[in-house]
């Protein structure tokens, strides 16, 4: 898997693994030396799951590498720096900044809880980090004291293990590629298997503030069932030590994510406490949440569609809000999890794949089998109904299993992939789109002949044309990556949308070559729904098969 030299293993020809710093559900973290640059680094050696098939292992590895590369694009003093992502012997390694210090969990264990002023400082730093990550479409999904490092000498707070953290132990629910997190710190909507966004990270931060102030989470119980009941149904009782920061804690621990305090307002309130010793109430004008659209912003006129754009104009229909799981429904699922866990049933699979009821199956599970079914045709933005094709028995061998809540579309353009059950096919010239009701989410696919320079050059040319094709284009970045073992390029950017009513959007776009053809798959969504968009994007890419 590597080379031996001076009793140390060297990977990727440059990183010498020297001392094991720790072990968790995701693998081993090493203190290492970058022999090329002569600097100390931390290297996470990701564990391999022997229960996965070769295809599943490859998809999981590709997704892990994509997420790590996304985190590597983040630049913030309170976010761990990812220097490199490499493979050795088909095993991924993530090369990170080496922090000389300990975790916040270890600090509390050794020295006890912190006071309100220190908790506010920690909260401010983490909120600032989350705002940067969320703006880039990256969620953490496992915020807890063990994933926060405190640098010795400077007390700098550093958030680590973005998006890929899994831990072992009786109070952790994990399932490869679908559920990541620790129940004591997991938001109620994630417990229910509903699609989640930045608000879920903010709930976890509220729990973390309680833990650093009192020494433990307010949802700690003696059993998994007790934890799940406490999170989704029991009265929330912040510890007495949280009294100075109670408006922030209560705002973050709001079970309805639509009413939960947002990061900007929570940071403002904590800064006010640091300056005055008193925590103000959430801003009355926004109900504690920062409006998504900036007041006074000059709307840009709609831009006509052109074949070079990666999106389509929004239809005139208004999207109906998605129904949320009721507290009773969440509680039933939680109690079922507790009952079935003792019988050897995967708790995460039960939470994420339960059927029936509004919103069931919103969160995909890449390992769950799903029987494809044709959705009822719905009008497309072009005005003519178009039923999305589904796999037939004769084509099933050329497709990958669709996760729960998805169906496999065998597209006449020469490919198959899994799309959400309510997405409708809408061809647009050389591109094929699958659109959610109302066109809020837009999944696009293009099949073409290879172009000079390969996928990386194609994405860079598209990025150069981004400002002309996407109003308000900003924060665009192109990253070299791989897909299906072939060179690929990932392009991400944010833009203003085609109208003021539509609002800002974020786009993920992956391009690669396979079997003499070039494939381009992208998903566009409102910036407030980037987590759902990333899931649709990952499932589309992971299940894509050329015909």
Tokens 């939470």 correspond to: 351
The Cα 289–Cα 268 span in angstroms is 12
The Cα 245–Cα 277 span in angstroms is 10
Q: How many helices (H) and strands (E) does the chain have?
A: 13, 20
Tokens 């609002």 correspond to: 503
The Cα 524–Cα 305 span in angstroms is 15
Asked whether 11 and 93 are in contact (CB, 8 A), the reply is yes
Under DSSP, the state recorded for 375 is P
Helix (H, G, I), strand (E, B), or coil: what is residue 128? Answer: helix
Assigned token pair, 535: 């899931």
The Cα 207–Cα 92 span in angstroms is 31
In 3D space, the residue among 508, 546, 542, 525 whose CA is nearest the CA of residue 177 turns out to be 542
> Which listed residue (142, 311, 496, 542) is catalytic?
142
Asked whether 540 and 524 are in contact (CB, 8 A), the reply is no
Phi, psi for residue 199 in degrees, rounded to 5: -60, -30
Under DSSP, the state recorded for 201 is H
List the end-to-end C-alpha distance of the chain, in Å, as a whole number. Answer: 35
Q: What is the DSSP string of 234-255?
A: SPP---GGGGGGHHHHHHHT-S
Using CA atoms, how far residue 287 sits from 127, 261, 290, 426, in Å, is 19, 8, 8, 39
In 3D space, the residue among 181, 236, 100 whose CA is nearest the CA of residue 352 turns out to be 181
Using CA atoms, how far residue 286 sits from 43, 252, 297, 301, 323, in Å, is 43, 15, 17, 27, 22
Asked whether 208 and 218 are in contact (CB, 8 A), the reply is no
Asked whether 147 and 161 are in contact (CB, 8 A), the reply is yes
In 3D space, the residue among 454, 531, 467, 519 whose CA is nearest the CA of residue 493 turns out to be 467
Q: 142 catalytic, yes or no?
A: yes
As annotated, the active-site residues are 142
């Amino acid at each position: 898997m590597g080379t031996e030299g001076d009793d140390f293993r060297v990977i990727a020809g440059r990183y010498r693994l020297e001392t094991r710093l720790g072990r968790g559900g995701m693998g081993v973290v090493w203190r290492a030396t970058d022999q090329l640059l002569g600097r100390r680094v931390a290297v996470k050696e990701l564990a391999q799951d022997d229960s996965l098939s070769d295809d599943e292992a490859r998809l999981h590895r590709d997704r892990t590498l994509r997420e790590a590369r996304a985190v590597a694009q983040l630049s913030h003093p309170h976010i761990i720096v990812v220097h490199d992502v490499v493979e050795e012997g088909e095993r991924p390694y993530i090369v990170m900044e080496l922090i000389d210090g300990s975790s916040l969990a270890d600090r509390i264990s050794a020295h006890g809880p912190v006071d309100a002023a220190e908790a506010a400082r920690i909260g401010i730093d983490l909120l600032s980090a989350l705002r940067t990550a969320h703006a880039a479409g990256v969620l953490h999904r496992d915020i807890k004291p063990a994933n926060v490092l405190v640098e010795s000498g400077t007390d700098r707070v550093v958030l680590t293990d973005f998006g890929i953290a899994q831990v072992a132990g009786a109070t952790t629910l994990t399932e490869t590629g679908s559920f990541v997190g620790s129940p004591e710190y997991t938001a109620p909507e994630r417990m229910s298997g509903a699609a989640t966004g930045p608000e879920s990270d903010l709930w976890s931060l509220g729990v973390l503030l309680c833990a650093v102030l009192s020494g433990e989470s307010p949802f700690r119980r003696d059993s998994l069932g007790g934890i799940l009941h406490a999170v989704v149904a029991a009265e929330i009782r912040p510890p007495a030590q949280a009294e100075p920061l109670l408006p922030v804690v209560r705002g973050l621990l709001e079970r309805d994510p639509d009413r939960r305090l947002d990061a900007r307002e929570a940071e403002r309130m904590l800064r006010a406490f640091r300056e005055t010793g008193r925590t103000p109430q959430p801003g009355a004008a926004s109900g504690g949440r920062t409006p998504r659209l900036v007041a006074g912003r000059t709307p840009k006129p709609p831009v006509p569609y052109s074949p070079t754009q990666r999106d389509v104009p929004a239809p005139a229909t208004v999207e109906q809000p998605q129904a949320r799981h009721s507290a009773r429904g969440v509680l039933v699922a939680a109690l079922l999890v507790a009952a079935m866990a003792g019988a050897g049933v995967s708790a995460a699979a039960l939470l994420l794949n339960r059927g029936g009821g509004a919103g069931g199956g919103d969160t995909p599970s890449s390992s769950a089998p799903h029987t494809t079914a044709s959705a009822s045709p719905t009008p497309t933005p072009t005005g003519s109904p178009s039923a999305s094709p589904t796999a037939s028995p004769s084509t099933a061998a050329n497709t990958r299993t669709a996760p729960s809540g998805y169906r496999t579309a065998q597209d006449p353009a020469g490919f198959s992939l899994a799309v959400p059950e309510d997405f409708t096919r809408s061809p647009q010239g050389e591109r094929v789109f699958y659109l959610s009701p109302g066109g809020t989410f837009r999944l696009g696919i293009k099949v073409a002949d290879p172009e000079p320079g390969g996928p990386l050059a194609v994405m860079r040319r598209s990025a150069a044309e981004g400002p002309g094709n996407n109003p308000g284009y900003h924060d665009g970045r192109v990253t070299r990556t791989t897909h299906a073992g072939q060179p690929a390029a990932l392009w991400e950017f944010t833009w203003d949308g085609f109208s003021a009513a539509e609002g800002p959007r974020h786009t993920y776009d992956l391009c690669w070559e396979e079997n003499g053809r070039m494939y381009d798959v992208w998903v566009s969504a409102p910036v407030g729904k980037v987590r759902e968009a990333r899931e649709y994007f990952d499932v589309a890419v992971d299940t894509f098969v050329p015909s």
